[in-house]
Structure 1
Amino acid sequence: MAANPTSSPSCLTRAETLLPPELEREIFEICALTRPVIIPKLMLVAWRVKNWVEPLLYRVVHISPERYPSLGVPLFTSDILARVLSERPGLLENSVRHMYIWSPEESTILSARHRAHIDAVLSACKGITNLFIMPGEAEYCTALADLTCLRQLAVDIVNLFKVYPARFADALFRNVTHLEIFAEAEYWEGSELASLPELTHCAFWNETILEIAGGAILAGCARLRYMVFLYVSGSLNQIEHASCAELALDVRFVALDPGAFDEDWLRGALLQQNYWARAEAFVAAKRAGEVDSSLYLVPDEKPSSDPSFAS
């Protein structure tokens, strides 16, 4: 019996060999989210692909002199973002979800123009859910109050409170679940954090918070699940160990070295392992009896390199 020529693969029509549009889009989006730096090349494939992946190019915005090529995140400056905002304002507004702002004092980008650009971008990108602002920048960011979707915030609260005198009662903190604080305890009261209705994760760097505010934070914040003391020296001093040991009576408290903090932030934005994930795993192990409940030092671990993506 002769074969039906229409059933031969070589005789299939072009339409029959194409992937379903939904599947094709999903493949390109996964590729783009896995390594955002290749998105400009993907945009050259076809107009439909450009429309799918271009917004993902701006999903994670990392403004920093430090570069991490292995993570595949594109380079951004405030000038680049200002140009995109001017030419296509809706693109940034609907795309940016994670933003990291670090402009060291010795850098020429710490200028009035840079600050104006950052304010303009933050004013436009009201969908930001994760924001990291290095000390020295927050006092210029007058647009933060409009970020009603903000869930994760790392900020110098001393400078921030110069702009937002309502302090933690400001609407800026209404939906924040993860708060990383750069400030000494003398500038605020630990009990103030109890006013944050959604706060479940709190982290800080300064040892005076351990001594002065740590106990008040744990006692006053019933919703708090994790409190993390961050250190970068490779080890704790005697005073820090003594304070940590006392706070460790509460299973929610841990101390850890996050390593390169901007790299750690990027990993979190890409849904890889960051210090929050390490803290959560350690506390879970203590609750399960797998780790002595009196321990508080989270062991150093090599971050997972498995690429993934977040909403």
Structure 2
Amino acid sequence: MLDPEDEPRLPAELEQAIFETTAHIRPLSIPTLMLIAWRVKKWVEPLLYQTIVVSDSGADADAKNLEGHRKPFRCRTIYRVIQQSKSFPGDSVRDLFLSWEPTQEAVPKAILTACRSVENLWLSTAGPTTLFHLVEDLPLKQLYCDLRYLFGVQRQIDFSHRLFAKITHLEVFGGLLSGPEERWKQLAHIPHLTHLSFSHEYSVAGFLTILRTCTLLRVLIVRESSNWICTAIERSPDGAEIIRDPHFVKLGRREPGLDWRRGAWHGGGDYWVHAEECVALRKRRVGEADALQYVFEEDGF
């Protein structure tokens, strides 16, 4: 029998790559992989917490969970884990989805205090928060939230703030900048913004201002399940210019939380990717179709 030291072994770098790839493909296998050896545990445990979804919503927690991925943490569960564990790997968290009730704000405070390396953040709440000081210094690249609630009613939304310094993808829930054209131009202060989406804010003049002033913008998405926005654009004097712009995309009925998870867990396949496909298609078919003809739903165009 061979001495254990003489048994054939893979190079450590290759072995690590194999286990990390397995963990990425099958996240549910990570707890089992961690039992193989201490070195494997060290490699894959951070991946267990790379994407965290926290929600008590039945729709988020129970329905339509993506195959191969665990269900979201309940608010009280993750709060208890953070409070009781001295070694919670918060620095491993890159993608964070937080949905809570106003009475549960201790939960997002504890999580954001522990997780200071978040790059992709979804904040969903029913009212104002006091989380701004915990969010403003995160190295965010993607942000999904109601900015009015994040900044607070007493604070003016400032797109030149360091909060937006690295932001490339921004989805705005609720109202934001209805009013003079100058307020819409402020979005151009976000230096690296390439993807912008609105869930409820609809202003034809605002869309046109954004398309003209945000020079790096690759996609402007409007989430709209009715025909209101189509009618408004068609009746507007500036509607024709918006319709002709291939970067403008109208999004049909999709489940936002599930879509976010699809992108975070699979590194693509979310609505940003589909919108880019729509933009590319329209650029190839210049003059043959307009923005209102290409509306993509949950399963594509």
1:135 deviation in Å? 3.9
Say whether residues 1:302 and 2:295 are aligned partners. Answer: no
Post-superposition offset of 1:69: 4.6
Match of residue 42, structure 2, among 37, 51, 58: 51
2:276 matched residue in structure 1: 280
Q: Structure 2 matches for 1:110-189, cutoff 5 A?
A: 110=101, 112=103, 114-136=104-126, 139-142=129-132, 143-147=134-138, 149-162=139-152, 164-185=155-176, 187=178, 189=183
CA contact (8 A) 2:130 2:152 kept: no
Structure 1: runs of 5 or more not aligned: 1-9, 104-109, 304-311
Q: Which amino acid aligns with 2:99?
A: W
- Aligned partner of 1:3 in structure 2 is none
Distance 1:213-1:220 versus aligned 2 partners, 3 A rule:
same
Among 51, 72, 81, the alignment partner of 2:69 is: 72
Residue of structure 1 equivalent to 2:260: 265
Paired residue secondary structure (2:97)? strand
Per the normalisation by structure 2, the TM-score is 0.82
Q: Is the 8 A contact 1:228 1:254 kept in 2?
A: yes
Confirm whether residue 248 of structure 1 aligns to residue 243 of structure 2.
yes
Give, in whole Å, the separation in 2 of the partners of 1:72 and 1:250. Answer: 38
Larger Rg: 1
The 1:16–1:289 alpha-carbon spacing in structure 2 relative to 1, beyond 3 Å, is farther
Gap regions ≥5 residues in structure 2: none
Q: Quote the offset at 1:160 in angstroms.
A: 1.8
Deviation at 1:156, TM superposition (A): 0.5
* 1:280 alignment partner AA: E
Letter in 1 for 2:248: F
In the alignment, the residues of structure 1 paired with residue 275 and residue 128 of structure 2 have an alpha-carbon distance, to the nearest angstrom, of 26
Distance 1:240 1:187, change over 3 A: closer
Q: Give the Cα separation in 2 of the matches to 1:261 and 1:276.
A: 11
Measured on the aligned residues, the alpha-carbon RMSD in Å equals: 2.8
Aligned counterparts of 1:237 and 1:253: Cα–Cα separation in 2: 12
Equivalence for 2:21: 30
Q: Distance in 2 between matches of 1:186 and 1:19?
A: 57
TM-score using structure 1 length? 0.80
Q: Residue 185 of structure 1 contacts residue 209 of structure 1 at CA under 8 Å; is this kept in 2?
A: no
Q: How many residues align?
A: 284
- Could you tell me how far apart the structure 1 residues matched to 2:224 and 2:86 are? 39
> Is 1:217 aligned to residue 210 of structure 2?
yes
